[in-house]
Amino acid sequence: MSFMDIALNRQSCRNFNQKRQVEDEKLQRILECARLAPSACNAQPYHITVCKGEDAHRIAKATVGMGINGFTKDVPVMLVISEDSYNKTAALGAKIKSIDYRSIDIGILCSHIVFQAHEEGLSTCILGWIEDKKIREICNCNKVHLIVALGYANDDDKLRPKKRKSIDELVSYKS
């Protein structure tokens, strides 16, 4: 599978098969790809808590609200991405440049997770609609930035056409 195949065929899943569990060897490869993600000053200012079974259900409840994310009740694995401290150089860089490198790093980490998951035949949905306080209590972790829902899609889940800016809107060239 080429990277272009993955980019074209990965999509956010909101139709998980609650009966099909994620094989541990696949989960471990996904976590290894996450571990290899780049980050500002190589600070890796994040932590992943793998929640399965009843804990995944408790996390799912903390992602639902205002009619959003009801599908998470069927998700077998929830990867909770919380923050960890910067190293000295990243902390200094973030302060001097007023750039939130940690959020950028966490976005890249999530990309590694969802692309490797796709290669493994698994489906994902990145979740930003989350109740930080509740999830922190469950995971005993720092501030939660994102969650990646991980599992198998139901057989009737169809590939949707991609809705994206045109390449001309997205890209401009100078000289």
Ligand X SMILES: Cc1cc2nc3c(=O)[nH]c(=O)nc-3n(C[C@H](O)[C@H](O)[C@H](O)COP(=O)(O)O)c2cc1C
Binding site for ligand X (CB under 6 A): 11-12, 14, 69, 125-129, 146
User: Least distance in Å: CB of 65 to ligand X?
Assistant: 10
User: Least distance in Å: CB of 67 to ligand X?
Assistant: 11
How far is Cα 102 from Cα 129, in angstroms, rounded to an integer?
A: 18
Q: Cβ distance 119 to 6 under 8 Å?
A: yes
How far is Cα 175 from Cα 167, in angstroms, rounded to an integer?
A: 18
User: Least distance in Å: CB of 22 to ligand X?
Assistant: 19
Q: CB nearest ligand X: which residue?
A: 128
Nearer of residues 44 and 124 to ligand X, judged by Cβ: 124
Nearer of residues 38 and 128 to ligand X, judged by Cβ: 128
**Which amino acid is residue 103, in one-letter code?**
S
Q: Enumerate residues 6+ apart whose C-beta is below 8 A from 134.
A: 61, 62
User: Least distance in Å: CB of 70 to ligand X?
Assistant: 10
Q: Cβ distance 147 to 81 under 8 Å?
A: yes
How is residue 121 written in tokens?
């035949």
